[in-house]
Amino acid sequence: MPELPEVETMCRGIAGCVGLRIAAAALPRGRVRPIATVPRPAVLVKRLVGRTIAVVFRRGKRVVMEVAAAGDAPLWLVIEPRMTGLMLVTEPPSAEHVRLELCLHADRGSATERLLFWDQRGLGTIRLLDARGLERACGAAKLGPDGLVVTADDLAFRLGRSRRAVKVALLDQRAVAGIGNIYAAEILFRAGIDPRTSCRRLSRDAWERVAASTRAILAEAVRHEGSSIGDETYQTAAGAPGRFQKRHRVYGREGRPCGRCRVPIVRIVQAQRSTFYCPQCQCRHPKRRPCPR
């Protein structure tokens, strides 16, 4: 589920936790298996308690919280929501899938907050890392430039000689960080590019369109607080659904008419994952040149 816009929305939704101290931490074990943590759960909890959440930010599809302790080196709590993970400051959809619970208190005053990481499928991960670990997990070798600011130069440099299909390449987090299956489809629709096109066959103009579409689609999705689709497991930290799913032009729309040319949207499989596109608007030799947006 969570791609860049959803994770960005989660980070904004938990920004109120900055400045609060972790009074208690728990990794509840319900009927579901415990989630993967680094270090082991008991050590993780011990190291977290007493620290203060100093900064919350996003790196690609990860939520990163800098946790500080007076007179001690900072640590970073790195959470990867993967498919169904959510950061919540409200009641979770179910109690048994709460994977991390932080009880937060203000040092002065009475402000308190309960911050949860909830993950139905349990594919998410929780890591508490030092500066070296953070660099290894989230550094430039692991994650490329952020999708909100990626340029045509970035993409052409990293992918221009690749033989991979452009849609598959856009999911490579080392090339550009934050794009997932929904937004890869929406980006290429907006750019008017066939998702099967080999990267090395894309012109400079095509990379310009891909980069501009990436920034525009992701920014628009952030403005609409992400996409809640299907069973609607995704929600903001305050429990509201996202709204960008109403603006999807191709994702999840197999067989329905393209909003621009009325030709039915097609679903194919690339790298074991669904790709949706318009065979007319995203054709290499369209009868009518697509008019982006």
The catalytic position among 47, 51, 58, 61 is 61
Please confirm, yes or no, whether 209 is among the known catalytic residues: no
CB of 80 to DNA, least distance (A): 6
C-beta atoms surrounding 269 within 10 Å: 8
Cα dihedral angle (251, 246, 120, 20), rounded to 10 degrees?
130
Tallying the residues shown for the chain, one arrives at 293
Residues 6 or more apart whose CB falls under 8 angstroms from that of 40 comprise none
Span interacting with DNA, options 43-51, 66-74, 257-265, 269-277, rule CB under 7 A? 269-277
C-beta atoms surrounding 286 within 10 Å: 15
| 285 contributes a contact to DNA by CB under 7 A | no
Cβ nearer to DNA, comparing 174 with 288: 174
Please confirm, yes or no, whether 186 is among the known catalytic residues: no
Query: According to CB under 7 A, which residues from 146 to 185 bind DNA?
Result: 162-165, 168, 171, 173, 180-182
End-to-end CA distance of the chain: 25
Cβ nearer to DNA, comparing 97 with 253: 97
The string of DSSP codes covering 108-170 is SSS-EEEEEEEESS---EEEEE-HHHHHHHHSTTTS-SBTTT--HHHHHHHHTT--SBHHHHH
Please confirm, yes or no, whether 61 is among the known catalytic residues: yes
Please confirm, yes or no, whether 99 is among the known catalytic residues: no
Report, as residue numbers or ranges, the catalytic residues.
2-3, 61, 273
Interface residues toward DNA, by CB under 7 A: 1-3, 6, 32-33, 60-61, 80, 82-84, 94, 96-97, 120-123, 162-165, 168, 171, 173, 180-182, 226-234, 242, 245, 270-274
